[in-house]
Structure 1
């Protein structure tokens, strides 16, 4: 879905776009990927997500827990 550049999006069109973006975001797509796919800025996408009531994920990727090391195994 490409949006015309430098065109203000308001009213029902903005609400519809916000719902569409929020659905894709909740499915796991990143804000940067969404911005690139529709040709708008990160800030614009972030604002639409807030307007749609989407819960913004924390920064960073997949953080796996690291196995704990024991004091005996630390010197190896």
Structure 2
């Protein structure tokens, strides 16, 4: 099993990453897809989006029919 070295995302790098994630999220990408693409956890990706003042979408998914 190989270990990945974790790096801390701080300062300007963090701000730039958050802005890039925001742009992609606002273009329709999901938090999960952004996290996978960036190699980040879902939680950190969500935090970065919030730091970038991103208005998060409500949870989506398939709509269920009444009585189904």
Q: Do the two structures share a fold, i.e. TM-score over 0.5? A: yes
Q: Moved runs in structure 1, 4+ residues, more than 3 A?
A: none
**C-alpha distance 55-31 of structure 1, shift in aligned 2 (>3 A):** same
Q: Report deviation, 1:22.
A: 0.2
The separation in 2 between residues aligned to 1:22 and 1:13, in whole angstroms, is 14
The TM-score, its normalising length taken from structure 1, stands at: 0.73
The TM-score, its normalising length taken from structure 2, stands at: 0.81
Task: Tell me which residue corresponds to 2:19.
Answer: 19
Long gaps (5+) in structure 2: none
Which is greater in Rg?
1
RMSD: 1.9
Q: Report deviation, 1:28.
A: 0.3
Question: In structure 1, the residue corresponding to 2:7 is in which secondary structure?
Answer: coil
Residue pairs, 1:11-50, within 5 angstroms:
11-50=11-50
Long gaps (5+) in structure 1: 67-76
